[in-house]
Amino acid sequence: MTWWARDSLRWRAPVFIAAVIIVVVGTFLGVAFREVEASLTEAAGARAQWATDQVAGLLAQSTQQRLGELHRVAAHAAVRACLLHPTDDTREAARRQLATLTNPNPQIIELWNHAGERVLSLAVPPGAEHALPAGSMPSAAGIGRFQTYRDTLFTEAVTTVDSDVTADDREPRTSSGFVVVRRPLVASPIGDALNRLVGNGASVKVGNKGGGVWTDLSKAVEAPPVELSRAGATAYRTANGERRVGALAAINGTPWAVWVEFSLSTVLAPARSSLDRMIASAVGVVLVAGGFVYLMTARITTPLFQLTQASEAMAGGEYSRRVTVSRRDELGRLAVAFNAMSERVEHAHRELEERVRQRTAGLEAATHELEAHAAELVAVNQELEAFSYSVSHDLRAPLRHIGGFATLLAESASASLNAEGHRLLKTIVGAATQMGRLIDDLLAFSRVGRTQLDRSEVSLGDLVRDVQREIMIGINGQAIVWRLNDLPAVDGDRSLLRIVFVNLLSNAVKYSSTRAPAEVEIGTVPGGAAETVVFVRDNGVGFDRQYAHKLFGVFQRLHTSEEFEGTGIGLANVRRIVHRHGGRVWAESELGRGAAFYVALPAGRPSC
Amino acid sequence: MLTPIRTILLAEDNINDIELTIAALRSNNVANEVVVVRDGAAALDYLYRRSAFASRSPEPPGLLLLDLKMPKVDGLEVLQQIKGDRALRTIPIVVLTSSREESDLVRTYGLGVNAYVVKPVVFNEFMDAVKALGQFWAVVNEPPPVVKE
């Protein structure tokens, strides 16, 4: 592990602390900003409402003023006279009177009687009638809604002309007609004044209550995005995402409403910049805290890292590694303990190595000794081989000669020999033959002990069937009942195991030759998984149990060769072969009641 | 066509075995001339017509009965020499061994021997074996033609 690894405490602690600070401060800042934003928005709404109410008051006042002036002009006798008696003179007088309506904007002034006739129409200045429509008979006095005519916004103000009151006051005052004044809306300084009043970035709109034509006092605009019949403050978001707050108020005495709105961002800007400053200081806090924690952890992890490195070096076999002790706290004590431990480990390791060296030396000496013994054994074995070769060759030759010449003598001196002479010669030949057989058996026995085991998987079933067939060829006339049960496969030398079963089966046949029929059974004894136990059972003469230990000796026989022929080497071979396979062999019998021979072979491969 | 009766070469050091072998051949009516050599060197001399055998007839023997254990040059060396020689390797060779140990030896060397016989202790068995051999190789079997060099 290296100190810059991602998993190192040196990084994980500062990063964890910084993450905690970021989460806490971030949450706090987020909540605080929301609160500030909400209260600022509310304050902005209140401000917008206040501004709207102010503007509505101003507009109501100015409208009342206009109506008042109109009423005063309409009350003049010349106007009434013109309505009652419309002649050129009265018209002229009324025109002069009506022209006193002061206004910098163009206007059309009309006089209507109750019969619905337009008595007088006056355009100030002349030509203004082209920009404004001709009116119709008004129904009631007051200020009218905003209307448009050929892209021109205009409003209408109507006042009644009272009938003259007779001197005696006999008739009630009634209206004798209307004065209608139509004025287009032109850019007026009132918009700028209002904007100045509500503040920077604010805009004012005036329009009809309940929808229709709306204006910013210079041109037609869209109505505010709120329900236009209800006064109050509203915050909304424009199509391009800007947040704005506005308020609506009705203008008394008119069918109009006024709307003042401004962008929230202007309002929230101070809160935003204060949030930015707070975030900047929070980042500073995080960095400082992280750095501080890093330094603190480093003070702990540096010695730990050195200890880890030393431990890893030790695990890698570098037992002489020590760490420097420079502190008195727990880490210092840990370093001291580590040094003590590594010293002991180094000591133990050295001791162990020394011991291993000694043992190895001892083993080498023993190996040399063993090799010497093995060489000796090889030499002895070679000597034995040479001996058995000379036995086979040199001992058999004189025997052959004895037998051969005795036979030749029996033939050539046949006439001069009497019966006793013939018997003696025959005995000589028989004895030589017997000795030849003994030599052959002895050589075969020594070969069984000498040859290397050639191991493979041997199917005992196939092997026993094969041996049984071979034996049956050499049998003449003997009735034998064979019972061959299933036999497993074992690991062993096929040709040597064949010798085992040739001996056991031919013995079984030989020693039960006096039975009719002879019965021979071969099978396995159920037992442990460690070994395979095969039995060969016959119903022959059997043997006396007290001589059982002699059965497997070389040239040991329990019967004379007159009873059953043989040299007594077969079972000795059997035992030698089975022992070389790491197995056991034993026999059970009762005299005259058959015999059973058992061969136990290890299931696994023995180490010999 | 009558097969010319060829010589049987017997390479055997033991005088008793020589006598018994010849007796066995004769009692089985094998009429071929039997030339006896007492060691492997003499056997090779005969085959190559050298020293004592320089003046013998050029016809090779019809059968070689070869003992393994002989002085000077043993039977295996003789076998090796004959089987390595194009002119001689067609001569039928029967190895006479004293024991099964020796017959193993012959088998191991695998020198292309035509047959081997373990000399039996029982003389009658030996006679039977020799009889079969002599008749088969010297009388019945047509020996391969002489290779002219």
Question: Residue B23 is part of a domain; what is its CATH number?
Answer: 3.40.50.2300
Q: Which of B23, B98, B102 sits opposite A408 (nearest CB)?
A: B23
Q: A170 CB near a chain B CB, below 8 Å?
A: no
pLDDT in the model for residue B149: 43
Q: In chain B, what residues touch A405 (CB-CB under 8 Å)?
A: 16, 20
Q: B126 CB near a chain A CB, below 8 Å?
A: yes
Coil/strand/helix, residue A350: helix
Q: Which of A388, A392, A435 sits opposite B98 (nearest CB)?
A: A392
Q: In chain A, what residues touch B100 (CB-CB under 8 Å)?
A: 392, 440, 443-444
Q: Which of A393, A411, A433 sits opposite B121 (nearest CB)?
A: A433
- A23 φ, ψ (degrees, to nearest 5): -65, -45
Q: How far is A507 from chain B (nearest CA, A)?
A: 23
Q: How far is A472 from chain B (nearest CA, A)?
A: 24
Q: A430 CB near a chain B CB, below 8 Å?
A: no
A401 with B17: Cβ contact below 8 A: yes
Q: B125 CB near a chain A CB, below 8 Å?
A: no
Residue A480, CB half-sphere, CA atoms under 13 Å: how many? 26
**CB-count burial class (<10 Å; 0-12, 13-18, 19+) for A448:** buried
A408 with B120: Cβ contact below 8 A: no
Q: How far is B137 from chain A (nearest CA, A)?
A: 23
CB of A67 closer than 8 Å to CB of A86: no
Nearest to A177 by CA among A105, A90, A66, A253: A90
Strands B93-97 and B63-67: parallel
Closest residue in B to A439 (Cα) is B99
CB of B107 closer than 8 Å to CB of B113: no
Amino acid in the structure at residue B124: N
Q: How far is B38 from chain A (nearest CA, A)?
A: 16
Q: How far is B122 from chain A (nearest CA, A)?
A: 6
Q: A286 CB near a chain B CB, below 8 Å?
A: no
pLDDT in the model for residue A197: 66
Coil/strand/helix, residue A489: strand
B121 with A403: Cβ contact below 8 A: yes
Q: In chain A, what residues touch B126 (CB-CB under 8 Å)?
A: 400, 404
Q: A368 CB near a chain B CB, below 8 Å?
A: no
Residue B83 inside a domain? The answer is yes
Q: Which CATH number fits domain A454-602: 3.60.15.10, 1.10.10.10, 3.30.565.10, 3.40.50.2300?
A: 3.30.565.10
The CA distances from residue A447 to A82, A207, A308, A384, A477, in Å, are 167, 133, 66, 10, 34
CB of A260 closer than 8 Å to CB of A198: yes
Closest residue in B to A436 (Cα) is B121
Residue B5 inside a domain? The answer is no
State both tokens at A519: 């019965």
SS (H, E, C) chain B: CCCCCCCEEEECCCHHHHHHHHHHHHHCCCCCCEEEECCHHHHHHHHHCCHHHCCCCCCCCCEEEEECCCCCCCHHHHHHHHHCCCCCCCCCEEEEECCHHHHHHHHHHCCCCCEEEECCCCHHHHHHHHHHHHHHHHHHCCCCCCCCC
Cα separation, A454 vs A497, whole angstroms: 11
Q: A446 CB near a chain B CB, below 8 Å?
A: no
Residue range of the domain that includes B18: 12-139
Cα separation, A597 vs A507, whole angstroms: 10
How remote is the C-alpha of A515 from its chain's centroid?
Answer: 81
State both tokens at A502: 């040739």
- B101 φ, ψ (degrees, to nearest 5): -55, -45
A403 with B123: Cβ contact below 8 A: yes
Nearest to A539 by CA among A508, A496, A585: A508
Q: A431 CB near a chain B CB, below 8 Å?
A: no
- B119-147 mean pLDDT: 64
B69 with A393: Cβ contact below 8 A: yes
- Run means of pLDDT, 10 residues per run, chain A, 608 residues: 62 84 89 88 86 85 85 82 83 83 77 82 77 76 81 82 57 70 71 66 81 78 80 83 86 86 81 87 88 84 83 85 83 87 90 93 93 90 75 78 87 86 88 84 77 86 91 84 90 90 90 88 84 91 83 78 77 89 89 89 62
DSSP A540: S
Cα separation, A394 vs B66, whole angstroms: 17
The CA distances from residue A475 to A472, A478, A479, A519, in Å, are 5, 6, 9, 14
Q: In chain B, what residues touch A429 (CB-CB under 8 Å)?
A: 122-123
Cα separation, A308 vs A301, whole angstroms: 10
Higher model confidence: residue A536 or residue B29? A536
Closest residue in B to A429 (Cα) is B122
Amino acid in the structure at residue A253: G
Cα separation, A7 vs A9, whole angstroms: 6
Residue B144 inside a domain? The answer is no
Task: Choose from B21, B100, B123 for mutation: most chain A CBs within 10 A.
Answer: B123
Nearest to B10 by CA among B149, B144, B133, B139: B133
pLDDT in the model for residue A1: 46
Q: Which of residues 45-104 of B touch A (CB under 8 A)?
A: 69, 98-102
Please count the residue pairs, one from chain A and one from chain B, whose beta carbons lie less than 8 angstroms apart. Answer: 69
pLDDT in the model for residue A465: 92
Number of neighbouring beta carbons within 10 Å of residue B4: 8
CB of A188 closer than 8 Å to CB of A42: no
Q: A123 CB near a chain B CB, below 8 Å?
A: no
- The count of domains in chain B is 1
Closest residue in B to A402 (Cα) is B121
Q: A308 CB near a chain B CB, below 8 Å?
A: no
A408 with B121: Cβ contact below 8 A: no
Quick one: pLDDT band at residue B108, thresholds 50, 70, 90? low
Q: A438 CB near a chain B CB, below 8 Å?
A: no
